[in-house]
Amino acid sequence: RGDLECAAAYYAALRRTPEDICAIQETIDQMRAIKQSRSLSEDQVDTLRNLSHEFHRRLVRSSKNSVLITAYENLFELLHISKQLTISNSGISYNSILAHEMILYKVIHQDCEGARTCMMEHMESVRERIEHNEGSEDHSIQVV
């Protein structure tokens, strides 16, 4: 997932359109709006999970790279399971929203290497959360 999304972030920064930027920004705005709630319902947590996934999906589509898009779509179910493992009952963390915003910032400014690096850091955070929580009795994990 990391390699695929890092490459997608690079190409999204190179090839994105104004419509792509608006679509990606929309997912971030919706995540922020839901996160404002003090206590999230199960439906809101599910919505956050779906929005986080949609952020990544829209970013991959913005790469305009048919190989990356096809690979991502073929891995959709596996990626959906990954999202379930990285989301707790408290929903998305503000750090995850900030990571998404930073990736989008780099894409907007056509900073290909910066977008790739930000995505790499984001994916590393995902990996660390999964590894940390595998050994934990409490399997709640923050969304990424």
pLDDT tens sequence for the chain (144 residues)? 889 999 999 999 999 999 999 999 999 999 999 988 778 888 998 899 889 989 999 999 999 999 999 999 888 777 666 555 555 545 567 888 999 999 999 999 999 999 999 999 999 987 887 777 655 544 444 444
Buried b (16+ CB within 10 A) or exposed e, 78-89: ebeebbeebbbe
- State pTM to two decimals: 0.83
Strand partners, 143: 92
Q: For residue 18, what is the enclosing H or E element?
A: helix 18-35
- Dihedral pair phi/psi, residue 91, rounded to 5°: 85, -155
E strands within the chain?
none
